[in-house]
Amino acid sequence: MPLDHFEGASDITSVYIELLRNHITNAKSQHEFLLWMLLLHTHKIKLASHSKSGANPILLLPVTQRIAAEVVAELWPDQQYKEKMDYRFWYREFVLEYGGASAIPSQVEQELVSLREKLQCDNRVQSIDIDCSQS
């Protein structure tokens, strides 16, 4: 099963946490964390199948803003800022920054392309595509 290579992942939120953990460049950049939220909220991620049985890859659909907020809150490393370890902080910031829209704002398109490219290099990921049904 493709989720086997997500050690310790007990639910879908954990899968996203494990997927992003090694790809965050600036662990104290609120802007970067919000971009990761936007990517999770607007993109489909197809996991690579490493099984010999030829099982179909798992497709992770775009998540809700709340789940994206839970993921980044869990990944926020700086315990000095406890409020950033709470999904409600990130949910509020996402709505303030992007208006809660499911469309990708033009001013961050290139930054999202960079995040996609970074995640695409992960051997657990087969492909990442924007979810056109949310546009």
Stated pTM of the model: 0.87
For range 45-53, the mean pLDDT: 78
In the chain, domain spans: 2-134
For range 99-126, the mean pLDDT: 90
- The single residue listed with the structure tokens 């469309």 is 103
CA distance 38 to 31: 11
H or E, element range at 67: helix 65-75
Model confidence pLDDT, tens digit, residues 2-48: 455 566 556 888 899 999 999 999 888 999 999 999 999 999 999 98
Q: Helices 65-75 & 87-98, crossing angle to 10 degrees?
A: 120
